[in-house]
Chain A
Amino acid sequence: MTAMLEIRDLHTKIGDTAILDGLSLTVNSGEVHAIMGPNGSGKSTLAQVIAGHESHLVTAGSVTFFGRNLLELAPEERAREGIFLGFQYPVEIPGVNNAYLLKAAVNAKRRHNGQPEIDAFEFLKLAREKMKLLDMDPGFLNRAVNEGFSGGEKKRNEILQMAMLEPRLAILDETDSGLDIDALKAVAKGINALRSPERAIVLVTHYQRLLHYIEPDQVHVLSKGRIVHSGDKSLALELEKRGYDWVREVANA
């Protein structure tokens, strides 16, 4: 069976600084992975490289998505193939309406898949349904993308976009950071609703907190640009107790 996402010996640079240093990871359909690690370990870089951010230079290694070389695709092509990045810091875009972006994104994917564009009625119905799941006020549709949103609202908006786009692979970069407990629960509910045998979710997180609500199949610890330890959900609890220094010691041993 071809893996959904297969990363082999990935090395990247930003400017002259090496970030990822021989990272390998396999993600299959239906799985939920958690990528944990201290600040600066390369977690966000990994998320951005998969989504196609152009500031990262891949110097060695490969990334394939269902056997296809992902690195030769533009960010928009990756999105249409079914990769979704939930941003750690969702960008505020004054003047671009939230509903307009959502609809344009849904239609870009539909066109790519040879499907007819979504009509206005169907779109609104779908958006309202998903917003209800996330405890979002439908008024958010008419606001500019993330403009003036609170931290929690921005993260819910990311999950709304994910729910509308129904990606095959969702990479959620620190989606739990800056959330109060209610927002965290709403976001987790939205993510759990998307768990399915056809979909994989990669949770990039610094803390174990989110994993109380979303149970991962595998937990990986990233340090200095490579995965130094992998395990099941109990690894996250271990980390919570013993801190990242413990992993570094294990890795160096």
Chain B
Amino acid sequence: MNTAVIRQDLLADVVGRLPDNGLRALRERALTEFAKQGLPGTTEEDWRYTSLQSAVELSNAWLASQPDLVLPHEPRKEHLPTQASETAIDAHWLRFLNGRLLGGALPDLESIRIGREPADGRGLVTDDGLSNLNAALLHDAIHIVVPAGATLSRPIGLVLANDASGNTSVAMSRIVFEVGAGAKLEIIENHLSLSAAASFASVVIELRLARGAQVRYLRLQECGEAQILTGRLQIAVGQDALLRYTSIDLGGALVRNDVAADLTAAGSDVIANGLYLATGSQHIDNHIRIDHRVGPARSRAAFRGILHGRSRCVFNSKAIVHKGADGTDAGQSNHNLLLSDKAEIDTKPELEIYADDVKCAHGATVGQLDESALFYLRSRGIDADAASRMLTRAFAASVLGELAVAVAAEYVAGRIDQRLDLVVSDKP
């Protein structure tokens, strides 16, 4: 149970002092909603294993610090050094620092339109307290429209960087992608921390896929050791639309990632996979929810985790097959490798089925490195540590083999390798 709550008086004061940016009315509505909801506590089933206590404490301290909310000028691109991902992956990169899009003028990227104001605001205020806190403190709300039939030559990359030096220890980002009928788009969401200080970032991304749209989406989370990050990806999947999604968690102190896909028309196809690596006292929670409202449609959620140290990870994926969604094909799996007896995984792939004609499967495993495979490798002259690393990498390889955004594969593989070296050599 949360013992601390966000101080509404301080929050209202800060919300009132934020520059307009066309968002004031929305912020006020979100603030009113948030006052009723607060942040979810561990008494709620979806938050049973993940406490936002540290985020609340950090937020209250930030709100009370009379943060300087109006930067003297538009933040420029130079305020953020070029990140490794930008150099390694050929993409149209948009750079966000503490929730604000850098660069002043909005770029034109091939055929797409990028706007600052949400075209309608629908979805901005929701029944989710965390999303409303995000909306109440927004600096920027970015709206990206991909016209029907468009195909982009390169992915759109989002560098979402947090710099907690100075007074910017709480940062909110919100981006909406509107993908037109038959359009094809690749998206990379890259989370980074620029300083070692504790900070809380909340990112809400909405993805609306019109009929026949095809989106390949990579979330790559490489935050620092003191970063608290909550993310929500809300996806509306139209008729015959296709989504390939991969989530990779490598860093962060407390990370919660919610992915919710709403399959509202027949023929849609959503395949999500993911990998989380955790060590030390990291806490990484992935929650996937897929609503099958109409059939036939297919969804998959397949995540893998590698845990060491005293880390704790949570995996929950739920496919809800609503009444009448016949022809649904849903599958969920979660496999975990525990390298330490002090690490903990709470896993629950779930199915809720209210339709008759469905094909559904789910399963979870938790295990250690395979002793017979270790001996096999050692009997070939590979030393015990190298053999462990080889098998741990192999465990992660199946996710890499099906990375949603292929152009990022080499960079992601390199980052996973680096992180694995560190994780495997860590002591329990």
Residues of B with C-beta under 8 A to A84: 379
B375 proximal to A (CB < 8 A): yes
| B 375-413 to A, binary, CB cutoff 8 A, 1 in contact else 0 | 111111111101100110111111000000000000000
Residues of A with C-beta under 8 A to B391: 93, 95-96
Task: Knowing A74-B384, A104-B386, say if A94 contacts B379 (CB, 8 Å).
Answer: no
Give complex CA distance A52, B386 in Å: 17
**Per a CB cutoff under 8 Å, which of B372, B375, B384, B390 touches A96?**
B390
Residues of A with C-beta under 8 A to B390: 96, 101, 104
Q: How far apart are B36's CB and chain A's nearest CB, in angstroms? A: 48
Closest to A110 in B: B381
B373 proximal to A (CB < 8 A): yes
Closest to B380 in A: A105
Is B398 a contact partner of A105 (Cβ separation < 8 A)?
no
Is A95 a contact partner of B397 (Cβ separation < 8 A)?
yes
Is A91 a contact partner of B372 (Cβ separation < 8 A)?
yes
Task: Knowing A95-B394, A96-B394, say if A90 contacts B376 (CB, 8 Å).
Answer: yes
Closest to A105 in B: B380
Is A76 a contact partner of B376 (Cβ separation < 8 A)?
no
**Per a CB cutoff under 8 Å, which of B378, B383, B386, B398 touches A95?**
B398
Is A101 a contact partner of B380 (Cβ separation < 8 A)?
yes
Q: How far apart are B141's CB and chain A's nearest CB, in angstroms? A: 41
Residues of B with C-beta under 8 A to A90: 376
**Per a CB cutoff under 8 Å, which of B373, B380, B394, B395 touches A79?**
B380
Is A53 a contact partner of B375 (Cβ separation < 8 A)?
yes
Is B395 a contact partner of A161 (Cβ separation < 8 A)?
no
Is A76 a contact partner of B381 (Cβ separation < 8 A)?
yes
Give complex CA distance A93, B396 in Å: 13
A75 proximal to B (CB < 8 A): yes
Closest to A79 in B: B381
| A 49-60 to B, binary, CB cutoff 8 A, 1 in contact else 0 | 001111000000
Residues of A with C-beta under 8 A to B396: 95
Is A91 a contact partner of B373 (Cβ separation < 8 A)?
yes
Q: How far apart are A52's CB and chain B's nearest CB, in angstroms? A: 7
| A 105-120 to B, binary, CB cutoff 8 A, 1 in contact else 0 | 1001100100000000
Closest to B394 in A: A95
Give complex CA distance A94, B394 in Å: 7
In chain A, positions 49-82 with a C-beta closer than 8 Å to chain B are 51-54, 74-76, 78-80
Residues of A with C-beta under 8 A to B372: 91
A188 proximal to B (CB < 8 A): no
Is B381 a contact partner of A108 (Cβ separation < 8 A)?
yes
Give complex CA distance A74, B373 in Å: 15
Is B380 a contact partner of A51 (Cβ separation < 8 A)?
no
Residues of A with C-beta under 8 A to B395: 95
**Per a CB cutoff under 8 Å, which of A94, A95, A144, A165 touches B380?**
A165
Closest to A161 in B: B380
Q: How far apart are A146's CB and chain B's nearest CB, in angstroms? A: 9
Q: How far apart are A56's CB and chain B's nearest CB, in angstroms? A: 11
Closest to B376 in A: A91
Is A94 a contact partner of B398 (Cβ separation < 8 A)?
yes
A169 proximal to B (CB < 8 A): no
Give complex CA distance A105, B377 in Å: 8
Give complex CA distance A95, B378 in Å: 17
Residues of B with C-beta under 8 A to A112: 381
Is B378 a contact partner of A76 (Cβ separation < 8 A)?
yes
Closest to A89 in B: B372
Is A85 a contact partner of B379 (Cβ separation < 8 A)?
yes
Is A105 a contact partner of B382 (Cβ separation < 8 A)?
yes
Q: How far apart are B102's CB and chain A's nearest CB, in angstroms? A: 39
Give complex CA distance A53, B371 in Å: 10
Residues of A with C-beta under 8 A to B394: 93-96, 144
A149 proximal to B (CB < 8 A): no
Give complex CA distance A78, B387 in Å: 15
Give complex CA distance A78, B377 in Å: 12
A87 proximal to B (CB < 8 A): yes
Is B393 a contact partner of A76 (Cβ separation < 8 A)?
no
Closest to B387 in A: A76
Residues of B with C-beta under 8 A to A74: 378, 383-384
Interface CB pairs A-B, < 8 A, 11: A52-B379, A75-B378, A76-B383, A78-B379, A85-B379, A91-B376, A93-B376, A94-B394, A94-B397, A95-B398, A112-B381
| 6 residue pairs, one from A and one from B, having the closest CB atoms | A95-B394, A95-B397, A108-B381, A79-B381, A105-B380, A75-B378
15 further A-B contacts with Cβ under 8 Å, apart from A95-B396, A108-B383, are A74-B378, A74-B383, A76-B384, A84-B379, A91-B370, A91-B375, A93-B373, A96-B393, A101-B380, A104-B380, A104-B390, A108-B380, A108-B382, A109-B381, A112-B381
